[in-house]
Every structure is written in C-alpha cells, then in structure tokens.
Amino acid sequence: MAEKLQTRCVIAGGGPAGIMAGYLLARAGVPVIVLEKHADFFRDFRGDTIHPSTLELMYELGLLDEFLKQPHQEVRELRAVINGQTVPIADFTKLPTRCKFIAFMPQWDFLNFLSREATSFATFHLHMETEVVDLLIDNRRVTGVRARTPRGDLDVRADLVIGADGRNSIIQSRAGFQRREFGVPIDALWMRISKKPNDPGQTLGFFQHGKLLVLLDRGDYWQCGFVIPKGGFDEIKARGLPQLQNDIVSFAGFLRDRVTELDDWSKIKLLTVQINRLRDWCREGLVCIGDSAHAMSPAGGVGINLAIQDAVATANLLAEKLRSGAVSVGDLRKVQARREWPTRLIQGMQVFIHRHVVTGRSSDCKESLPFVVRLLKWFPVLRQIPAGFIGIGPRPEHFHSPTAG
Ligand SMILES: Cc1cc2nc3c(=O)[nH]c(=O)nc-3n(C[C@H](O)[C@H](O)[C@H](O)COP(=O)(O)OP(=O)(O)OC[C@H]3O[C@@H](n4cnc5c(N)ncnc54)[C@H](O)[C@@H]3O)c2cc1C
C-alpha cells in the first residue's frame, strides 16, 4: 500500500530547474514538494557555471551576498586555447548586471545552498531518495506522481506536476509527449586529474581542429570533459589508456606529469550528449521545464542558466494562481510560449557549434585560428557579444512572482 501525500505542486527532479522552481513557489506561499531520486546533490557529472543573469536573480531574491560566501571562482574574461594559442573569447566586465563575471561553483554547492534557503519556507518540502516512476492520471488530467522510496511507494497528489527530471525524463515519456531530436555528433568522457598551484586558470576549453578538452577547476582537481565522436568510446578503449593519456596531453601539456592518474577505465565515465525539444511542454495538470522539456548539450555552458530561467518564468506565470487553486492548460501553455524561443535560439547555436566547430572529429581546416576568433582577438569590443549571449542569454527572466506575507 503506497503512502499518500497531497500538495498544491509536486516537482519531479531536484536539479537547477526543480530546486529553483520549488524555492520560488514556496516563497510565494504555494505548498510544494520536490522529489529527487538521489540521496544528495553530490554528483560530478554536472556543469559548474552560475551566470551573471542567475547572479542577478540571486540579488533580486536578496540572496546574493550569502551566496557569494560559498567557495567559488569569479571569471571576468573567458579565454580559450585554440590550436595552441590562448585567445580571449568573452568579456563579462561590461555586462549590465551587478556581477560582471561567471561564478564557477560546483553545482552541488549551488543546489545545497538554494535548497537550504528554501527550507526556511514552511511550504517547501524536499524528499531525497525518492524516484518518480509514474504519473497519476484521472480522466486524462495528470493529478500527481507515484514514487519509489527506501521505505516503499509514495503517491503524491497535486494540482500541478512539474517535470524537472532532466534529459532522461520519466515524466515526459509517461506523459506521451512527442520529442524532436537534433542529432549531436559527440559524447563526452568525464574524469578527474589533480590540480597544481601553478596550473593555468579557468578557460572555456582547449580546442583543436574539431576536438575539445574542457577543464573545470574544482579546487584540488580538474574535472575534465573530453569530447569524442558519438559512439566512439569502444574504439578509444580498444586503442588503450596510454593513447587516451597522450591525446589529453596533446591538448593541455601541463597535465603530462599526472595524466597517468587515469590508470583504469573505471575512472573514466561516458556521458552521452543530446539536444532535443518537446513539441508540447504541457497537458492538463503537467508542465515540463529545463532539460526535461529541452535537453541541452554542454556547448556554451548555458543549459543550467536556461533551466533556471524556465523555473523563474514558471513561478512568475503560475504562482499567483497556484496559491488559490489549480491552473488551466492555457496557463501552462504560457510557460512554453514564453520559454520556447530562447530555447530554440540557444539550441540552434548548439547544433551549429556541433556541425562546424566541436564535431569530435579532426577537421581538415588548417587555419590555426578561425576568422571569427581572430576578429575577437583584434577587436576587444566584440568580446561583449559572446559575453552577453553566454552570460545573460536571450530573454533573461526577472523575479516578480509574489512573496508570501
Ligand atoms: C556532459 C555535460 C556537461 C554539461 N556542462 C554544462 C555546463 O558546464 N554548464 C551548463 O550550463 N550546462 C551544462 N550542461 C547542460 C546542463 O547539465 C543541463 O542543461 C542542466 O543541468 C539542466 O538542468 P535541469 O534541472 O533541467 O536537469 P538536471 O540538471 O539533469 O536535473 C534533473 C534532476 O532530476 C533528478 N531526477 C531524474 N530522474 C528523476 C526521477 N525519475 N525522479 C526524481 N528525480 C529524478 C536527477 O537526479 C537530477 O537531480 C552539460 C551537459 C552535459 C551532458
């Protein structure tokens, strides 16, 4: 017999989209339950970027000062190493935001911070180790979710279900939503290599004729993302670990003295990369946001920001109505209408990058620096364009949902 709970809004998934939506709705006085399948937020396969527009939001919420006390790095100018040359790509210092930098912070610190703040609202409840396995549907209206917990099954009935369960969303598949796939030619290998005090600072990545190594500074180690052709992991394994180690050193020579730390394939995880988007993000009683509505590739490091913006728009559009009762499918469509075009624009950019820049395969291009990059090198003012696109993005959302009195 399943345990039963009733609330106004239940959110599947405690990633950036789910925790931010939960925080904002609870702040508005809406009873909300967030269900996260893992026991903690401590997983290393997440990006670490908190963008100026998210920092602006933290300011609007009155959380910025406290937030910036968490260990983080402030990157004001993003550089890339392209075919051996270090080139500036984005200059955040002229952005019209309070924080003119990207904060690099492990995502578990961000999620722990926000969920801690959310628990100060009596209407916020977070259930960890609670995996949503199905939707509850009455007369074609979604009325809740069924979840599995270490203590047994749990049914949560709610006026609204928010699917924020990421790119392998059970919610979108159980809802029967149609998904459009945009082929991505790459996957990523994800691994750790120790960091030394004299290593170079955070960059956008090390690019070489279609290939890319990303290093995320996590204090005492580098979280490495190495782009490979989609489906190419078996071939890489067949070539052996020393060959992979050599490949990594050919991108970032300073890792030569420690790349042998990767001495077992169990230290190297394969992350599949996808770009897709739902045709409909909602039906009666249910809306999907973040990667659950539109899976993002790591290109540009913008997926977290987009997921957070979705959450803000959701709260802005729905919180007031949800305080007093259910919302109509027309209300839910407004979330998709508001967030779909920024998503299309960013995904379009990501598809372009994977077709022409980071393809996972060596390109025939013999130019050491692409023309666009040379323009950025020659004309510093142009670096404000990628800074705006990465740091703020199209249609940034501002907090204006109500606050419970
Ligand atoms: C290799 C890789 C690297 C990336 N790096 C970056 C980067 O540096 N910067 C950036 O901005 N973006 C990056 N992205 C994209 C970014 O990770 C996503 O766009 C972003 O995490 C989406 O946030 P979300 O909250 O929608 O989903 P997620 O972050 O995927 O969160 C979903 C949450 O739901 C939980 N969950 C899943 N299923 C269930 C279930 N059935 N029941 C309960 N809980 C469930 C998961 O455990 C997870 O906590 C990267 C993507 C990839 C693939």
Residue 266: strand, helix, or coil? helix
Ligand 1 atom with least separation from CA of 170? 41
- 200/244 same-domain check: yes
CATH of the domain at 7: 3.50.50.60
Residue 404: strand, helix, or coil? coil
Q: What residues contact residue 168 under an 8 Å CB cut-off, 6+ apart?
A: none
Please tell me the pTM assigned to this model: 0.94
- 250/317 same-domain check: no
Pocket test for ligand 1, best of 19, 20, 35, 36 (most atoms within 8 A of CB): 36
Ligand 1 atom with least separation from CA of 147? 42
Q: 337: domain range?
A: 3-74+105-182+274-358
Q: What is the pLDDT of residue 208?
A: 86
Q: Contact at 8 Å (CB) between 260 and 246?
A: no
Q: What is the pLDDT of residue 211?
A: 86
Spell out the per-residue pLDDT of the chain, length 405, in tens. Answer: 889 999 999 999 999 999 999 999 999 999 999 999 999 998 766 778 999 999 999 999 999 999 999 999 999 999 888 888 888 999 999 999 999 999 999 899 999 999 999 999 999 999 999 999 999 999 999 999 999 999 999 999 999 999 999 999 999 999 999 999 998 999 999 999 999 999 988 777 898 888 899 998 888 999 999 999 999 999 999 999 999 999 999 999 999 999 999 999 999 999 999 999 999 999 999 999 999 999 999 888 899 999 999 999 999 999 999 998 889 999 999 999 999 999 999 999 999 988 887 777 776 666 677 788 888 888 888 889 999 999 999 999 999 877 876
Task: Give distance in angstroms: CA of 375 to centre of ligand 1.
Answer: 33
Task: Give distance in angstroms: CA of 38 to centre of ligand 1.
Answer: 13
- 19/147 same-domain check: yes
Provide the 10 A C-beta neighbour count for residue 194: 12
- 301/323 same-domain check: yes
Residue 315, domain member (yes or no): yes
Q: What is the pLDDT of residue 367?
A: 65
Q: What is the pLDDT of residue 50?
A: 94
- 300/321 same-domain check: yes
Q: What is the pLDDT of residue 377?
A: 86
State the DSSP H helix or E strand holding residue 329, giving kind and residue range, or none if neither: helix 329-356
Q: What is the pLDDT of residue 44?
A: 63
Task: Give distance in angstroms: CA of 166 to centre of ligand 1.
Answer: 5
Q: At what angle do helices 52-60 and 303-324 cross, to 10 degrees?
A: 30
- 317/337 same-domain check: yes
Q: What is the pLDDT of residue 226?
A: 95
Q: What is the pLDDT of residue 155?
A: 98
Ligand 1 atom with least separation from CA of 19? 25
One-character DSSP codes across 175-203: HT--EEEE---EEEEEEEEE--TTS----
Residue 86, domain member (yes or no): no
- 113/178 same-domain check: yes
Ligand 1 atom 38, closest CA: 165
User: CB under 6 Å to ligand 1: residues?
Assistant: 12-18, 35-38, 46-49, 131-132, 164-167, 170, 188, 225, 271, 273, 290-292, 296, 298, 301-305, 307
Point out the domain boundary residue: 239, 272, 305.
272
Copy the structure tokens of residue 56: 């602006």
Residue 83, domain member (yes or no): no
Copy the structure tokens of residue 288: 């999907």
Task: Give distance in angstroms: CA of 23 to centre of ligand 1.
Answer: 17
Ligand 1 atom with least separation from CA of 216? 8
- 329/223 same-domain check: no
- 290/331 same-domain check: yes
Task: Give distance in angstroms: CA of 164 to centre of ligand 1.
Answer: 9
The H-assigned helical ranges of 228-302 are: 233-239, 241-251
- Count of the separate structural domains present in the chain: 2
Task: Give distance in angstroms: CA of 158 to centre of ligand 1.
Answer: 24
Q: What is the pLDDT of residue 85?
A: 87
Task: Give distance in angstroms: CA of 274 to centre of ligand 1.
Answer: 12
